[in-house]
Amino acid sequence: MVDVAAEVPAGPTGPGDATRRVRRGPLGFAITLVIALAVFAGVGLLFHAQTYSSPVGTQVATKVGTSTVNGVAMQHVSLHFNTYPDASGSVNGVPIHPGGNQSWPSYGPTNQYQVPAHALVTVTIRQYDSGGSLNNPWFDKVRGTVGGTARINGKVVTSINPNNVGHTFTVRGTPGTDPGFFLNVPLPLVPGDSQADNGKYETIVFSFVSGDKGLYAWNCEFPCGTSIAGFGGPMNAFGYMSGFVHVV
Amino acid sequence: MSSDPSGAEEPPVLEQGDSIVARRPFFSGPAGKIFIIWFLMTTVGVLIGIFAPHHLLPTLLSTEGTDVWRTMVLFTILAAPVAAFVYAVAAYSLIGWRHRGNQDEPPEDGPPLRGNSTVTAIWLGVSSVLVLVLLAWGLAVYSAESVSPPHSLQIDVTGQQWVWTFSYPGTGVETRSLVLPINRPVQFNVTSVDVTHGFWPVDLGVQVDANPGVVTVIRATPDKLGKFTVRCSQLCGLYHSFMYAPGSVVTAAQFSQWLQSEGASTTTAQATALVKQ
Amino acid sequence: MTTDLTRPLLLEDTPIGPTAGGFYRRQNVYTGLAAGILLGFVGWLISNAMLEGSNWGTDMVVTVTMVGWVIGFNLGVGTFNAPLRWMLGHDQTYEDELYAAGVGQGRKRYYKFCTDHKVVGTQYLVLVVVLFAIGGTLAMMMRTQLITPHTDFLSANAYNAIVSIHGMCMIIATIIMVTGPFTNFVMPIMIGAKDMAFPRLNAMSFWVVVSAIPPLLATFVLGGVDAGWTTYAPLSVQAPPAMDAFAITMIVFVISVTVSGVNSIVTVLTMRAKGMTLGRLPIFTWASLVGAALSIYAMPALLIAFTSMITDRVVGTSFFVAGQGGTGWLWENAFWIFGHPEVYIILIPPVGAMLEVASTFARKPLFGYKVTIAAFVAVAALSIMVWAHHMFTTGWAPELAGPFMVTTEIISIPTGIIFLCLIGTLWKGRIWTRLPMYFVYLFLWNFIIGGVTGIYLSDTPADEFFHGDMFVTAHFHYTLLGGAMIAATAGLCYWFPKITGKMLNERIGKTAFWIIAIGIQVTYFGMFWEGFEGMPRRVAFYDPIFQHANDMATVGAYMLMLGWIVLLYAGINSLRHGPVAPANPWHSKTLEWKVPTPVPLVNFLVDPVVTSDPYGYGEPEPVGPLIIPPPHPDRELVPNLSSDNPLAKDDG
């Protein structure tokens, strides 16, 4: 009976040497750590610069003056943006998502807006897109604006036909930021059989009183995307039909 | 199988006690020390069970939430002795049975204990009994929560990417904030218009998924006044983080007023809010 | 022609140079890459040409391209060489087999389709480390995003994509972290076999899973999988084209795991040495066997689920689409019928490895060997009946919540037996606190916490609070990272000398151990805290009320990252500068320690005969596995094939 292991010469050093022999330890470790951190930072920057994060800047609201709402005097500012049938900005010729999907509908020229806290914000949206029916007709009502109304092509409305919706502009406070804040403005469609680039638009004007400082998230609740419920594609890619309102 | 005299006073593992060792004081032997460690750890575990859920959980506003808290306390207290026993043996093995000295070479072999059917049987018995207790508790609580009492307030919940809407049937009220009257069983009928969401009124201690095409049901009875948050517990796409709704538990009178402020007529508001139970 | 690899390898059999054959002797990972890219490109061209303007175009293009890549890579690397040659009427010659086994190719065999189970095991080990590095980097992305409630670091898209790929990358890595390296490298030697039962399938299982990784990473440039690793339908039907690549990854991965599972089972059942009865099998072999059997049961469910997902997305079926005859519950059921056994496919093999370590370093026989095997089998059997506890809050079949609560809580009884086995083995042992044993204790600490928190979640009323929140995340990280992965790390430290031929530097290793041990507690107690407070899982932005708990988890996560980097450094440092390992540094009694290090090609220069189980610590000799003296004087001429292991390169 022979144990094979006994025949094989043991290594020149015993197992205990493992605890003693550390050659080039600190330098080697530093190099390992630096490489690991560099990889981590590189991957992080890559993700940070991902094309499916928003490629466009922030629109800072223009000062208009001061106004009084319900007896409270406050700053009055205004925002102007549009909704396009595609992200190439073919209506005004400026690409909105230079590296992105050009065939998707998109808000433009930016999806990030900055307004002061507790100010009256008047928003003017030009809606260039066609549309259809909402998934949930609850969003056909104007909610959260001053007076609960919006002006569509000059006409004051509180709701629109849920089957003639182009997009909606729906804002809510993020968790921890003014949880009660909610704004929903349905944007009527431009009549036409497709997302036509015919240059026609609907003008929607409304005012709301901004909430506490913080980050507010907006998106569109009209199913203008792809796939089963119309919420694929642009609806689920940040920057097309979604964005932030920064209240400062 | 031979028995090692040094640990003979621990009844579960050794079949026969050794008379020489058995005369040693209990707490100086391994079994005694393990017992001390076990006792201390069990105490810590029980204290954690009593205090940690209370301090860590949010203020739970419903009877179902209170059940969650009770379950946490009970299960922690039941698990503490078992976990403490495993930890105590492991801890003692490092204190009392660790090979000291030259770590380059292995120590002598330990006693060839290949198993012990008594210990295994006791272990199986104890864990089975504990599992039975847990099951009895869980099944009892669950079956009690699975029945809608008569006169439950019905609320239809609709999830969609990324908004919750709540509708109070019969009143025409459909809102984004969830307002509930106190001490009134509520049945939530939950559905979705697109993908799967998780309807989770956090402080009520219940949740159910909102699935497209079907209505799922969950019940809760708020028993404390206060504000709470409805969150989405199922990843639902881009703005999952932002899918939440404010909620509050109010008195029946306030609830009736709130319904009217949301557009319900006085009669329907009062009929919905002030049900005799 | 006979392809008997078991006859003694003599000097005249070697060398078989790379020029001795045709093209297939020049194949390696680079030809695989080239062929994969080529065929992927062909698939892209064809699908684009055929589906111009079609509604499902993008999904079809991604699917066909990825399938092209997978087939091309495997053709290029040589996965299908032998079957293709059979189809062409050529048998594999003896020299072909020797070439495929890597004879005379030095370190090049690690970059090619090699049938030597030790090479496959080493390849798997590197792959697992790479996958953990990828998954860990993604985890750190998430924790960095969660430093503040609204960090402007990742977009919600990128965050969701990272959540999904972190999850699936780690699941793939943990499924193969023990069955890949250790079951392949160690298990055949443990049972006295010369190789796995099907060496070519063995190599195939590795290269197939390699080909599955690029599609997984490609999801990031295809819009990102935004549905989590569970990819619940219908969100995953709605997801960007990345989902198609993800599904291809999973289908290919299922093939790999199934092939490797069959291989393990057949190897254990048919390749054991003389005298290696089932009752003498080392516990790790039993664990591998049970894990493999469970994967044969579980993986097909995943295959069906992802195949249906692809057809839903590409050709417009509606298995998971509500209102068109489908339902998301179908996906959830199919996924968890795979998904819960999968947890035990991950867990059981590392636990077996950990018990080998415990027995060796407590210098005691395993306590309750047969009871432990029974516990493994019971866990495996019960685990196929508990899947719906992942669905307590989905609203599906509420009347089944009770029965599934019962099966789920009963599974804690056999799991408890494993703890009994562990502490029984420690009981009155001579605890030799070398590095592997550190990880055994860490496993014990973590897995108790993971188990107890699992009991809360198995209770339906409590689950209705905790489901879908960070408590669940913390729980399964305690079991899968703190439990399974730490047990696998114990196994890695234990078998490191045998696999690499070098001793692991324990001073650095113990530093890493303490950072990892504390890091796990800080990270996941932070997550428990988040969960108690009610923070949902998978959120890129959170309520500021969760800030403190998130701070704790983030700090812990950075500790964990540092710890694993230190451990990785310990491994690399030891490979380069570590002392050469003796054949049996731990004085263990299982067969893999009875063969020389590096292990020769056919493992055993002579056939071993086993006379007892390998746990005869403290029992009179001779009881351990014995080996009959070599019958042939030519044994010295056997080429020492593993001496040029690139992992064992000694530049000092």
For residues A72-93, give the mean pLDDT.
Answer: 83
The arrangement of strands across the sheet holding B208-210 comes to: B178-181, B244-250, B226-232, B197-201, B208-210
Residues facing B231 on adjacent strands: B200, B244
Question: For the segment A194-233, what is each residue's pLDDT rounded down to a tens digit?
Answer: 555 567 888 999 999 999 998 899 999 999 888 778 888 8
A14 touches chain C (CB under 8 A): yes
> Going along C567-623, which residue ranges are E strands?
608-609
Minimal-distance CA residue of chain A relative to C510: A19
Cβ distance A237 to B195 less than 8 Å, yes or no, reads: no
Rounded Cα–Cα distance for residues C365 and C329 (Å): 47
Contacts of C368 in chain B (CB under 8 A): 114-116, 120
B100 touches chain A (CB under 8 A): no
Q: What is the pLDDT of residue A90?
A: 64
Q: Which two tokens stand for residue C93?
A: 């010659």
Rounded to the nearest integer, the mean pLDDT of chain B is: 87
Is pLDDT at A138 greater than 80 in this prediction?
A: yes
Q: Is the dihedral of CA A73, A78, A83, A88 positive or negative?
A: negative
Cβ distance B242 to A182 less than 8 Å, yes or no, reads: no
SS (H, E, C) chain B: CCCCHHHCCCCCCCCCCCHHHHCCCHHHCHHHHHHHHHHHHHHHHHHHHHHHHHHHCCCCCEHHHHHHHHHHHHHHHHHHHHHHHHHHHHHHHHHHCECCCCCCCCCCCCCCCCCCHHHHHHHHHHHHHHHHHHHHHHHHHHHHHCCCCCCCEEEEEEEECCEEEEEECCCCEEECCEEEECCCCEEEEEEECCCCEEEEEHHHCCCEEECECCCEEEEECECCCEEEEEEECCCCCCCHHHCEEEEEEECHHHHHHHHHHCCCCHHHHHHHHCCCC
Question: For the segment C407-438, what is each residue's pLDDT rounded down to a tens digit?
Answer: 999 999 999 999 999 999 999 999 999 999 99
Q: Which two tokens stand for residue A223?
A: 């199913």
**Which B residues 51-90 touch A at CB under 8 Å?**
none
Q: What is the pLDDT of residue C1?
A: 33
Is pLDDT at C501 greater than 80 in this prediction?
A: yes
**Residue bearing the bigger pLDDT, A198 or B142:** B142
C378 touches chain B (CB under 8 A): no
Q: How many CB pairs under 8 A join B and C?
A: 288
Report the share of chain A in percent with pLDDT over 90: 29
Question: For the segment B50-91, what is each residue's pLDDT rounded down to a tens digit?
Answer: 998 888 888 899 999 999 999 999 999 999 999 999 999 999
**Residue bearing the bigger pLDDT, C605 or C53:** C605
Q: Is A39 helix (H, G, I), strand (E, B) or coil?
A: helix
Task: Supply the pTM of this predicted model.
Answer: 0.89
Question: For the segment A38-65, what is each residue's pLDDT rounded down to a tens digit?
Answer: 777 777 777 666 544 455 678 888 898 8
- Give the residue carrying structure tokens 């809510």: A172
**Which A residues 206-235 touch C at CB under 8 Å?**
214-215, 226-229, 231-233
For residues A61-77, give the mean pLDDT.
Answer: 89
Rounded Cα–Cα distance for residues C203 and C201 (Å): 5
C464 touches chain B (CB under 8 A): yes
Q: What is the pLDDT of residue C248?
A: 95
Q: What is the pLDDT of residue B23?
A: 57
Is pLDDT at C49 greater than 50 in this prediction?
A: yes
User: Are B68 and B204 a contacting pair, CB within 8 Å?
Assistant: no
Cβ count near A193 (within 10 Å):
6
Rounded Cα–Cα distance for residues C568 and A163 (Å): 60
- Give the residue carrying structure tokens 């006690």: B17
Rounded Cα–Cα distance for residues C125 and C180 (Å): 7
With a CB cutoff of 8 Å and minimum separation 6, the contacts of C592 are C186, C189, C190, C495, C498, C599
Rounded Cα–Cα distance for residues C234 and C239 (Å): 9
Q: What is the pLDDT of residue C54?
A: 58
Chain C nearest C-alpha distance from B51 (Å): 13
Q: How far apart are the first and last CA of chain B?
A: 70
Residues facing A60 on adjacent strands: A114
Minimal-distance CA residue of chain C relative to B125: C413
Rounded Cα–Cα distance for residues C438 and C494 (Å): 11
Nearest to B195 by CA among C525, C628, C327: C327
Q: Which two tokens stand for residue A216?
A: 């507010």
Q: How confident is the model at residue C635 (pLDDT cuts 50, 70, 90)?
A: very low
**Residue bearing the bigger pLDDT, A223 or A27:** A223
Q: How confident is the model at residue C250 (pLDDT cuts 50, 70, 90)?
A: very high
**Candidate from A190-204, B72-86, C327-341, C469-483 with smallest mean pLDDT:** A190-204
Rounded Cα–Cα distance for residues B19 and B5 (Å): 9
Contacts of C423 in chain B (CB under 8 A): 86, 89-90, 93
Contacts of C234 in chain B (CB under 8 A): 194-196, 212
A49 touches chain C (CB under 8 A): no
Contacts of C154 in chain A (CB under 8 A): 47-48, 50, 53
Rounded Cα–Cα distance for residues B245 and A179 (Å): 7
**Residue bearing the bigger pLDDT, C520 or C577:** C520
User: Are A105 and A241 a contacting pair, CB within 8 Å?
Assistant: yes
**Residue bearing the bigger pLDDT, C205 or C21:** C205
Question: For the segment B43-59, what is each residue's pLDDT rounded down to a tens digit?
Answer: 999 999 999 888 888 88
Cβ count near B148 (within 10 Å):
13
Q: What is the pLDDT of residue C6?
A: 44
State the chains in contact with A (3 or more Cβ–Cβ pairs under 8 Å).
B, C
Report the share of chain B in percent with pLDDT over 90: 63
Is pLDDT at B157 greater than 90 in this prediction?
A: yes
Q: Which residue type is seen at C415?
A: T
Q: Which two tokens stand for residue A69?
A: 């709402």
User: Are B144 and B71 a contacting pair, CB within 8 Å?
Assistant: no
Q: How confident is the model at residue C323 (pLDDT cuts 50, 70, 90)?
A: confident
